[in-house]
Structure 1
Amino acid sequence: MKRKGEKRVLTNLTASTEETQEAFETLVGAIKGLDLWHIATIVLLLLACMVVMKVLLRLLDRTFRRLEVEKSLHTFVRAALRVFLWIITICLVLGYIGIPMTSLIAVLSVLGLAITLAVQGSLSNLAGGIQVLVSKPFKADDYIEVGSVGGTVAEVGLVYTKLRTIDNKIISIPNGQISGEKIVNYSTEEKRRVDLTFNTSYDDAPERVTACIRDVIGAHPKAFFTPEPFVRVSAYQASSVEYTVRVWCATEDYWALYFDLLEQVKAAFDRAGIEMTYNHLNVHMVDHRK
């Protein structure tokens, strides 16, 4: 079955090549038979098509500006429409000269097959780029994670999306890969929640510890109090009591609040005499000689 399919493809390709050669010979003959009147008509036809093309492209630009379509998608659609209109223009001119439409279709099919074979590796990325630009899971300056890669979106292209990492490296990810991955966008919402855990000694009363943490949160200007900050005992470990802290803030203030709370809670514990303990083992020596 596979060999039959390959033979069929080769037969169709050979037939298209023969039709293309025939169309080329017909075109050469038609050009040689043109007179001044036909040339003038062709020029007027080209000018009319160019005017229509310009009007349609302006309407497209105006529509996309109103819809606030992503710039990369706008550029791609505009270029694709321009190519399509030029193909129609060429078909009209060649049809006026006397080239049969079947021959034109044969030429376009051969060109399309050649282009498809040449860029088939990029077509999936192009399709992924269109999908990303239409669905808009992220935009420029958003911080995202795609698979195991994270960074700020520097550019959303049709083939690649560029991420800027926190150490200022640029990572170009094929859009075909992005469209099939899980995307986490940390910049879409206006608020984010800071989640932290602290471990203190069993000797420190939970009421003192939670009050100390709440005082630190209440004094921080970037912490939100609606929803109310959450500070509770979350686990009793082998050598410590674990406290879970959840505080909401503006998305752009997330890391500032995160690091501030880590530093300021430790300083507040030191002032209050609260011990931030760690895993340890107490060994009691018993003297049996007594």
Structure 2
Amino acid sequence: MLDTLLASLSGSLFFKKLLGTVLILVIGVLVIRIIMKLISAALEKSHLEKAAHSLITSLAQAAMYILLFLIAASQMGIDVSSIVALASVLTLALSLALQNMVSNLIGGFVILYTHPFHSGDYVEIAGQGGTVKEITMTYTVLATFDNRIISIPNSAVSAAQIVNYSSAETRRVDLTVSASYDAPTQKVIDALVLAGTVDNALLDPAPRAVIKEYGDSAIGYNLWVWVKPEDYWGVYFQVNQRIKDIFDQQGIEMTYPHLNVHLDQIKKAGGQ
């Protein structure tokens, strides 16, 4: 009789723990879903890159589910301290095994926090130039001018020198041209300014040409044309072509390095 009563009490206690655990899990899942919706709404209003949204939501969701699992295990009478210790050891082992991936993840956090560039910017990273196509948590993907796709590890990106050509509202096209010493300098300067005056060139500041240097066989000139970043390459190629056409129209010679050799006849002794 006593054994039956103790077994009944023990079964009732286990049932209560099980029922409490189920309630905790159900309520916990509902609370997590509500919190995730709030986090997603907050991220949509933020200025973070889209790549950060999925990472933050995934980490937050994983952390909350782990916490819910520990609470449920504690409700069932399981010693969670041993679970936490085992998880710590496994985390350390994984971090050592996946060291490169962890460093890339950290680099991704640095990029998303510091905002050195955004998707769509034209950048140069460690000598590689291209338009930022995508920023993931492990790689930054660039699309080059000839449509090559370059994936650079975020650990290398965060440690490299980054040149962002799209961060400013304007960008300057720099062209170097040489012209003959026979051409009047002001005529050459006026011709270069005319060549730089194209549709997508900005008028403030206006195109400007200056003398750069006096070379051995030609005078070097610089032409500066300010444009919007998205118009850079179109203006660059258009102005390059116009320079040659306008020089030909105005009779300005574009010289190239050359060497004049003078042969003097040496008379031999005796009048020969």
For normalisation by structure 2, the TM-score amounts to: 0.88
Report the equivalent of 1:227.
205
Q: 1:189 aligns with which of 135, 158, 168?
A: 168
Structure 1 position 244 matched with structure 2 position 222: yes
Report the equivalent of 1:254.
232
Worse-matched range after superposition: 92-101 or 245-254: 92-101
Letter in 2 for 1:251: P
Letter in 2 for 1:56: I
Superposed, 1:131-280 pairs within 5 Å as: 131-218=110-197, 220-280=198-258
- Asked whether the equivalents of residues 175 and 224 of structure 2 are also in contact (C-alpha less than 8 Å), the reply is yes
Once residues 168 and 260 of structure 2 are traced to their aligned partners in structure 1, the CA distance between those partners, rounded to angstroms, is: 47
Letter in 2 for 1:157: T
Worse-matched range after superposition: 207-216 or 126-135: 207-216
User: Cα distance, 1:127 vs. partner?
Assistant: 0.3
Deviations 1:137-175 (A, max 9, x none): 112222211112121211110011111122222111110
Aligned residues: 258
Superposed, 1:25-104 pairs within 5 Å as: 35-104=14-83
Structure 1 position 109 matched with structure 2 position 74: no
Structure 1 position 119 matched with structure 2 position 98: yes
Once residues 67 and 50 of structure 2 are traced to their aligned partners in structure 1, the CA distance between those partners, rounded to angstroms, is: 26
C-alpha change, 1:120 and 1:260, in structure 2 (3 Å) is same
User: Cα distance, 1:46 vs. partner?
Assistant: 0.5
Letter in 1 for 2:254: M
User: Mind listing any 5+ residue stretches in structure 1 that lack a counterpart?
Assistant: 1-31
Letter in 2 for 1:41: G
User: Cα distance, 1:241 vs. partner?
Assistant: 0.8
User: Cα distance, 1:255 vs. partner?
Assistant: 1.2
Once residues 276 and 263 of structure 1 are traced to their aligned partners in structure 2, the CA distance between those partners, rounded to angstroms, is: 13
Letter in 2 for 1:281: L
Q: Secondary structure at the match of 2:98?
A: helix
Deviations 1:169-214 (A, max 9, x none): 2111110111100011112222110111111111111121112222
Once residues 154 and 196 of structure 1 are traced to their aligned partners in structure 2, the CA distance between those partners, rounded to angstroms, is: 28
Deviations 1:100-159 (A, max 9, x none): 343232222233233223322210000001111121211222221111212121111001
RMSD: 2.0
Deviations 1:228-247 (A, max 9, x none): 32212111100001111111
Deviations 1:244-278 (A, max 9, x none): 11110111111111111111111111111111111
Q: Secondary structure at the match of 1:262?
A: helix
C-alpha change, 1:248 and 1:279, in structure 2 (3 Å) is same
Once residues 165 and 222 of structure 1 are traced to their aligned partners in structure 2, the CA distance between those partners, rounded to angstroms, is: 22
Once residues 41 and 113 of structure 2 are traced to their aligned partners in structure 1, the CA distance between those partners, rounded to angstroms, is: 18
C-alpha change, 1:176 and 1:248, in structure 2 (3 Å) is same
Once residues 193 and 246 of structure 2 are traced to their aligned partners in structure 1, the CA distance between those partners, rounded to angstroms, is: 11
Report the equivalent of 1:20.
none
User: Cα distance, 1:34 vs. partner?
Assistant: 6.8
- In percent, how many aligned pairs have the same letter? 37
Once residues 99 and 193 of structure 2 are traced to their aligned partners in structure 1, the CA distance between those partners, rounded to angstroms, is: 59
C-alpha change, 1:91 and 1:205, in structure 2 (3 Å) is same
Letter in 2 for 1:91: L
Letter in 2 for 1:207: Q
Once residues 50 and 110 of structure 2 are traced to their aligned partners in structure 1, the CA distance between those partners, rounded to angstroms, is: 14
Letter in 1 for 2:42: T
Report the equivalent of 2:3.
none
Structure 1 position 283 matched with structure 2 position 241: no
